[in-house]
């Protein structure tokens, strides 16, 4: 009799006896699993696996389509491999570089394939990407997809994998060394091999929707909509965001850091303290430049907005100092103090408190106080007591003087509805976000949300008594709120500030790993905890003793000289 195992399928909510050694794709057919969109991957005991994965022991299995975060990540990684393969076949002397997300897609460039033996030099100019090249690459991608080429996950000794990918890492070490595993996994599609940080789809034919179009000096890889993967994400203009990414890429060149491998090599060469000092100096210079721009315009209201854990509070305090240097008397107000009482807070579609909703702010009261201040009146400022969920008054009086400027910090500070009738000549708007500008390598980017999630996990654990499980569980609601109430207004900003620091993953690693390891392996949140733990393995940890007390990172790891 054929041996069997017991599998619990979360899609059917039932147990099934299935042949031992069955693949996920066979199990899908055996159980006739139907999802709203094509099945492309699965969670096995809350870890994402590809459909070729074989089951030899009892497992919990949940099949995924592209509308799930894990499914969409696997889809986009596979799309990246198809793109890299097409470029390799058409332009073998170039390599794809996935720079960063933009316009709800990914900005990609080409760079010359440089070997250490080449005489081109360490920084050859990028190849010119023409519309005809983009069209040719897109056509070859479509051809690869139509051929439905199988994608194999293979494994070799780490030293062999390092040799295979030596050119990508310039033979000066590799991310595989940081992982510290005797064997490493990579992927093969025909004769083309590539490395990705997690699973891919079984074959190129699973890619059913994408677009590739010219964008700036490179290309924009467009991906399916995350809620409805039968349509593409809308391509939205983000000129200011693109400029910030480019500015910080230039800063990285000053540090000679292009990817995680460069960072780890620098740390091994005892250059981490130098990186910290230079990165912090660049931050301070940018804050000072913003203060100078405010001093030149002389507004009465400075609005600072950004998503959760972007560092708005510390940025506001550092800006306050720079404004004082320019002879301006800043007064910082937090929009959090204008929250409605907890019982009046809007609820989301799941019946949970929706704190990201703009109507969680008492807008009539906020508008009245702002107009009173602009009219020269004295107001009694509120303070929100989060322990009781109510607004209280503690005798904080405020009246603006001639040299005063009101610095208003909050999620909704850039939303025009908070002060719809204010004269724009009286305002200056700043958007703060943590835009990761270092990638794992040319084909593996770091999601911009990861840095803020890790910050939030560490801060919530240290200062708010929340476990990583609780913070991760709250994350989808936070992201939905930001997508609805924060990001649509980011291009309204006069300037943007990138609060990410190139070294902070290596610092957060020490704090986040033990917190993430507390997440139970039998809950939904373990999927995200496991992904983050795997990601942090790529970084060599560095001590934080050289980080100054005014650093924005201190808001999350502790040791700040600012009062919060």
pLDDT of residue 124: 63
Q: What is the mean pLDDT of residues 236-241?
A: 90
Alpha carbon of 231 to those of 38, 202, 208, 377: distances in Å?
A: 13, 22, 10, 53
Q: Is residue 32's pLDDT more than 90?
A: yes
Q: What is the mean pLDDT of residues 258-270?
A: 88
Kindly state the tokens that stand for 39.
């099945």
pLDDT of residue 269: 87
Strand order in the sheet with 495-498: 329-334, 404-409, 301-305, 427-433, 495-498
Q: What is the mean pLDDT of residues 229-233?
A: 97
pLDDT of residue 119: 43
Q: What is the mean pLDDT of residues 358-363?
A: 94
Q: What is the mean pLDDT of residues 312-338?
A: 95
DSSP bridge partners of 214? 219
Q: What is the mean pLDDT of residues 256-270?
A: 87
Q: What is the mean pLDDT of residues 42-61?
A: 97
Q: Which of 482, 476, 474 minimizes the C-alpha distance to 457?
A: 474
Q: Is residue 117's pLDDT more than 50?
A: no
pLDDT of residue 114: 61
pLDDT of residue 115: 55
The rounded distance, in Å, linking the Cα atoms of 333 and 314 is 13
The rounded distance, in Å, linking the Cα atoms of 27 and 125 is 50
Kindly state the tokens that stand for 138.
């897109």
For residues 530 and 2, which has the higher predicted lDDT (pLDDT)?
530
State the pTM of this model. 0.91
pLDDT in tens, 431-466: 999 988 789 998 998 988 999 999 999 999 999 889
Residue with tokens 């703060």: 432
pLDDT of residue 173: 60
The rounded distance, in Å, linking the Cα atoms of 199 and 24 is 13
Domains and CATH numbers, the chain: 4-65 (3.10.20.30), 71-222 (3.30.980.10), 239-557 (3.40.50.300)
pLDDT of residue 409: 95
pLDDT of residue 118: 47
Are β-strands 183-189 and 152-157 bridged in parallel, bridged antiparallel, or unpaired?
A: antiparallel
**Alpha-carbon torsion, ordered 16, 19, 21, 27, to 10 deg:** -50
Go through the chain and tell me how many residues it has: 564
Q: What is the mean pLDDT of residues 98-104?
A: 92
pLDDT of residue 564: 80
Q: What is the mean pLDDT of residues 411-415?
A: 95
pLDDT in tens, 125-155: 778 899 999 999 999 999 999 999 999 999 9
Q: Is residue 358's pLDDT more than 60?
A: yes
pLDDT in tens, 160-192: 998 888 866 654 567 888 888 899 999 999 999
Q: What is the mean pLDDT of residues 270-291?
A: 93
pLDDT confidence band for 206 (50 / 70 / 90)? very high
pLDDT of residue 247: 85
pLDDT confidence band for 1 (50 / 70 / 90)? low
Indicate the average pLDDT of the chain: 92
pLDDT of residue 80: 97
The rounded distance, in Å, linking the Cα atoms of 43 and 61 is 6
pLDDT of residue 49: 97
pLDDT confidence band for 467 (50 / 70 / 90)? very high
pLDDT confidence band for 366 (50 / 70 / 90)? very high
Q: Which of 324, 317, 355, 294 minimizes the C-alpha distance to 493?
A: 294
């Amino acid at each position: 009799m054929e041996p069997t195992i017991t599998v619990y399928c979360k899609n059917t909510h039932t147990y099934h006896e299935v042949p031992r050694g069955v693949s996920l794709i066979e199990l899908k057919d055996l159980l006739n699993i139907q999802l709203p969109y094509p099945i492309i991957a699965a969670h096995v005991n809350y870890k994402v696996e590809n459909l070729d994965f074989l089951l030899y022991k009892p497992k919990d299995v949940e099949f995924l389509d592209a509308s799930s975060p894990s499914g969409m990540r696997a889809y986009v990684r596979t799309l990246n491999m198809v793109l890299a393969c097409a470029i390799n076949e058409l332009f073998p002397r170039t390599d794809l570089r996935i720079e960063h997300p933009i316009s709800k897609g990914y900005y990609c460039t080409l760079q010359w394939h440089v070997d250490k033996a080449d005489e081109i030099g360490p920084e050859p100019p990028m190849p010119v990407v023409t519309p005809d090249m983009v069209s040719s690459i897109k056509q070859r991608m479509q051809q690869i997809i139509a051929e439905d080429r199988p994608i194999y996950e293979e494994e070799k000794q780490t030293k062999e994998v390092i040799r295979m990918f030596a050119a990508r890492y310039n033979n000066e070490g590799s991310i595989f060394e940081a992982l510290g595993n005797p064997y490493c996994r990579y992927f093969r599609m025909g004769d083309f091999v590539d490395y990705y940080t997690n699973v891919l789809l079984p074959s190129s034919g699973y890619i059913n929707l994408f677009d590739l179009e010219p964008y700036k000096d490179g290309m924009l890889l467009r991906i399916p909509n995350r809620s409805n993967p039968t349509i593409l994400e809308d391509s939205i203009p983000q000129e200011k965001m693109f400029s910030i990414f480019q500015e910080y890429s230039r800063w990285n060149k000053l540090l000679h850091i292009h990817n995680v491998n460069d960072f780890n090599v620098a740390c091994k060469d005892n250059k981490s303290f130098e990186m910290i000092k230079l990165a912090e100096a660049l931050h301070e210079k940018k804050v000072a430049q913003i203060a100078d721009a405010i001093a030149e315009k002389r507004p009465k209201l400075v609005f600072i907005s950004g998503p959760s854990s972007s560092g708005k509070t510390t940025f506001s305090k550092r800006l306050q100092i720079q404004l004082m240097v320019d002879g301006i008397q800043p007064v910082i107000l937090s929009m959090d103090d204008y929250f409605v009482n907890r019982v009046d807070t809007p609820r989301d579609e799941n019946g949970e408190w929706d704190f990201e909703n703009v109507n969680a702010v008492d807008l009539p009261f906020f508008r009245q106080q702002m107009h009173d201040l602009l009219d020269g009146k004295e107001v009694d400022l509120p303070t929100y007591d989060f322990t009781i969920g109510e607004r209280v008054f503690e005798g904080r009086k405020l009246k603006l003087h001639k040299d005063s400027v009101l610095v208003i910090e909050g999620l909704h500070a850039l939303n025009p509805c908070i002060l719809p009738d204010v004269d724009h000549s009286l305002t200056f708007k700043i958007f703060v976000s943590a835009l990761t500008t270092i990638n794992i390598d040319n084909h593996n980017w770091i999601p911009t949300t990861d840095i803020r999630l890790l910050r939030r996990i560490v801060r919530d654990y240290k200062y708010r008594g929340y476990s990583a499980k609780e913070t991760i569980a709250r994350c989808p609601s936070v992201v939905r709120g930001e997508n609805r109430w924060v990001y649509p207004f980011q291009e309204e900003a006069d300037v943007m500030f990138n609060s990410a620091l190139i070294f902070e993953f290596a610092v957060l690693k020490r704090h986040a790993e033990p917190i993430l390891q507390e997440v139970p392996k039998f809950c939904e949140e373990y999927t995200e905890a496991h992904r983050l733990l795997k990601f942090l393995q790529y970084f060599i940890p560095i001590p934080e003793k050289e980080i100054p007390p005014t650093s924005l990172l201190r808001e999350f790891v502790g040791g700040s000289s600012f009062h919060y």
